[in-house]
Amino acid sequence: MSLSVDPSTPANGITPAPQQAQSGVPVIQIRDLHKSYGEQEVLKGVDLVAPRGHVIGLIGSSGSGKSTLLRCCNLLEDSQSGEVIFEGEPVAWTRSGAGRQPADRKQLRRLRTNLAMVFQQFNLWSHMTILQNVMEAPVTVLGHPPAEVETRARALLAKVGIGDKADAWPAQLSGGQQQRAAIARALCMQPKALLLDEPTSALDPELQQEVVRVIKDLAAEHRTMLLVTHDMRLAADVCDHVVFLHQGRIAEEGPPARIFGAPQTERLQQFLSATMAPRPDMSNASE
Ligand SMILES: Nc1ncnc2c1ncn2[C@@H]1O[C@H](COP(=O)(O)OP(=O)(O)OP(=O)(O)O)[C@@H](O)[C@H]1O
Ligand SMILES: [Mg+2]
């Protein structure tokens, strides 16, 4: 498990140089965040730091608030109190409590375009080819020159192993290929961090491995990532720090070796024993 960050690692030539780990300002910081849906408080005072070049894993049972937290980070969801800080810059809010919203549209746009989401269900645009999917936002949202974006997009598709699928339609790709296209699309925005919400959960085990390989490559490049996953092996392999959410609170957090090797709280111990329980031996299934 490689947990340390080596800032001398060379850039891969395709994407911008990996963010320098020694920079003191975290890409994302969350302080005492509270979020409710109506009467139900889903996040009950969460703190989170994603230092540059680190991979932060979010684990926890279904309904614990992982996706909500991720979506609050890039302001896809509003929150009622607490701070969201992007590269040292606190999000400016207008109104308070239930009516609280980001106040500055430019800041909102800057934050959204720099924190690129990858969803469980890929969410590719079905009426666009794979190449068009990858090029769309950098051209239309960021206003980058199409020729430059196309070069970058093709390089990214090659990087995730689907360079030959540029002109295919999403429906012509396997789930694993679609998810890799979605990762290339997120990377083409040249974001400061990737926010991945269960990127492998919708895939068969064999296809999961294609995506896991890509995520491991990105971690090895010291990409800043927030990774929500139910795949504890993936979390153990790629994360620098793992956060265990339980009912909207951080019940335990730490380096993966401790979280998975020596969990301190009973809640985490229970979660891990339920999640990592050995599967029934299928070798006699046909007998
Ligand atoms: N749009 C919404 N409206 C109302 N309640 C919501 C909404 N989205 C999520 N919730 C509730 O918030 C809680 C946390 O949901 P969230 O999706 O963040 O959980 P999760 O940890 O990502 O779970 P999973 O592992 O199943 O994806 C749940 O109780 C859920 O029902
Ligand atoms: Mg979720």
List domains and CATH numbers for the chain.
28-275 (3.40.50.300)
Q: Cα separations (Å) of 202 from 2, 175, 208, 271, 286?
A: 27, 8, 8, 21, 26
User: What's the whole-model pTM score?
Assistant: 0.89
124 Cβ neighbours under 8 A, 6+ residues apart:
130, 133, 170, 178, 181, 182, 185
Question: Reduced to 3 states, what is the DSSP secondary structure of residue 46?
Answer: strand
Atom of ligand 1 nearest to the CA of 71: 18
User: Which amino acid residue places its CA nearest to atom 6 of ligand 1?
Assistant: 37
Say if CB 218 and CB 248 are below 8 A apart: no
Say if CB 193 and CB 115 are below 8 A apart: yes
Say if CB 81 and CB 57 are below 8 A apart: no
pLDDT in tens, the chain (287 residues): 333 333 333 333 344 434 444 468 999 999 999 999 999 999 999 999 999 999 999 999 999 999 999 999 999 999 999 999 999 999 999 999 999 999 999 999 999 999 999 999 999 999 999 999 999 999 999 999 999 999 999 999 999 999 999 999 999 999 999 999 999 999 999 999 999 999 999 999 999 999 999 999 999 999 999 999 999 999 999 999 999 999 999 999 999 999 999 999 999 999 999 997 665 554 443 33
User: Which amino acid residue places its CA nearest to atom 30 of ligand 1?
Assistant: 63
Task: Tokens for 117, please give them.
Answer: 């989401």
User: Which amino acid residue places its CA nearest to atom 9 of ligand 1?
Assistant: 68
Say if CB 74 and CB 111 are below 8 A apart: yes
State whether the beta carbon of 68 lies less than 6 angstroms from ligand 1.
Answer: yes
